[in-house]
Amino acid sequence: MESVTDKFLRYVSYDTQSDDESVSQPSTAKQLILLNLLVDELRALGISDARIDKYGYVMATVPSNIEHATPVVGFLAHVDTSPDMPGANVNPQIIKDYDGGDIVLNKEKNVHLSVADFPEMKDYKGQTLITTDGTTLLGADDKAGVAEIMWVVQYLQTHPDFKHGTLKIGFTPDEEIGRGVVKFDVAKFGADYAYTFDGGPIGELEYENFNAASAQIRIQGKNIHPGYAKNRMLNAIIIAMELNALLPPNQRPEHTSDYEGFYLLVKIEGTVENAELQYIIRDHDRNGLERKKSYLKSCVELLVQKYGDDVFYFVMCDQYYNMREKIEPHFHIVETARKAMEEAGVMPLIKPIRGGTDGARLSYMGLPCPNIFAGGHNFHGKYEFIPVESMEKACEVMINIIKLTAKK
């Protein structure tokens, strides 16, 4: 059997960045290279119905090998990596028997993975870490989840005596840009419930996430020669700065944690003539999200009164909601995951996701879907790393879930 580590290292060699400016589905053709490879690998393992649809969704069935009826359980992961950091030419470094100290990622560029910055590194002393080379992201989000699911399928197909119910496998594109399951056919997938293996450090078990909205504001300035600008010029950049200054500084991501929501200015660009701001707005409480949306709208309206209707274009839309209200009526699936972790010797860390997950949208589409750790740290950047042992434990947890759901 190919190890989960070897699978992971193979998958991260593919550049699968998604593109939030693309209107295609999937957003980049290069994601299809890995998605089609996964279909080929599933078929080579004997999964005859493995297929990919026109939107890039891979679905497959591992048939039951027991006589009694069991729930149909799904496992999902996404193949795309974040646009925030280069994802091509990933050159993983393997640190065996990690000594608990700082790791030099790139001597030439003086990039270090520092324990002072990331004290959780010490938790993995003696283990094998996979890091970047300091120039790209690693891709553990979520190629670790992909590798873990593929390893488990391989295990089941090569161990026919292991008893299990019907399982559904899904791989998706574009999760990193919030479009991962927009066109996913839940009925076609055919699971009663599912788990995304898209979490972070070992032990994470999540069934709560942010409610999310986005906002785009365009500002039409008036560019006048600066020598004759008095009482005539409208500097769009200055107005954009004025708008951002109206938002509470203590509600930025760098000042929030746990259940605290935030406003994040993700993009600002412009000239005197035109400027554009893009925000994401997050809160675990739906009413809290609505309050934040309302406040941002009131800030724009205040500046409209000051500068005029024709200066502002403002649009805001909801992106996804907290999956908690959809999962709590099926809480046994969280308890199953908790027990599966405990049987693997992993302490469950149940906490809210300070982000989103495909499972949130799937839960609102009728497929309850908590999120389980895949093992990585510091996603979306050059400091990303993953312990091999965490990936192996994720595989064990998945096997335990399968075992528990196969019982009468």
Architecture of domain 4-208+322-406 in this structure: 3-Layer(aba) Sandwich (3.40)
* Numbered ranges of CATH 3.40.630.10 in the chain: 4-208+322-406
What is the helix (H) or strand (E) element at residue 243, kind and residue range? helix 236-245
Q: Tell me the pLDDT tens digit for each residue of 315-371.
A: 999 988 999 999 999 999 999 999 999 999 999 999 898 887 899 999 999 999 999
Q: Give the pLDDT of residue 218.
A: 98
- Enumerate the CATH 3.30.70.360 domain ranges in the chain, comma separated: 211-320
For residue 404, pLDDT over 90 is answered with yes
Query: Which one from 141, 142, 148, 175 is the annotated catalytic residue?
Result: 175
Contact 391, 127 (CB under 8 A): no
Helix and strand numbers (H, E) in the chain are 10, 17
Residue 142 catalytic?
no
Task: Report the topology of domain 211-320.
Answer: Alpha-Beta Plaits (3.30.70)
Mean pLDDT, the chain, rounded, equals 96
80 is catalytic: yes
Q: What does the pLDDT look like over 258-294, one tens digit per residue?
A: 999 999 999 999 999 999 999 999 999 999 999 999 9
pLDDT band at 67 (very low <50, low <70, confident <90, very high): very high
CA distance 187 to 190: 5
- Average pLDDT of the segment spanning 107-113: 95
Catalytic pick from 80, 141, 148, 384? 80
Residue 227's region, left for phi above 0, alpha for psi from -120 to 50, else beta, is: alpha
Q: Looking at residue 353, what is its pLDDT?
A: 87
Helix (H) or strand (E) holding 239: helix 236-245
Q: Percentage of the chain surpassing pLDDT 70?
A: 100
Span 141-148, average pLDDT: 97
Q: Once rounded to an integer, what is the mean pLDDT over residues 149-164? A: 97
Q: What is the pLDDT of residue 127?
A: 98
**383 or 178, greater pLDDT:** 383
| Res 178: pLDDT | 85
Specify the range with the lowest mean pLDDT, choosing from 55-64, 297-306, 318-327, 333-342: 318-327
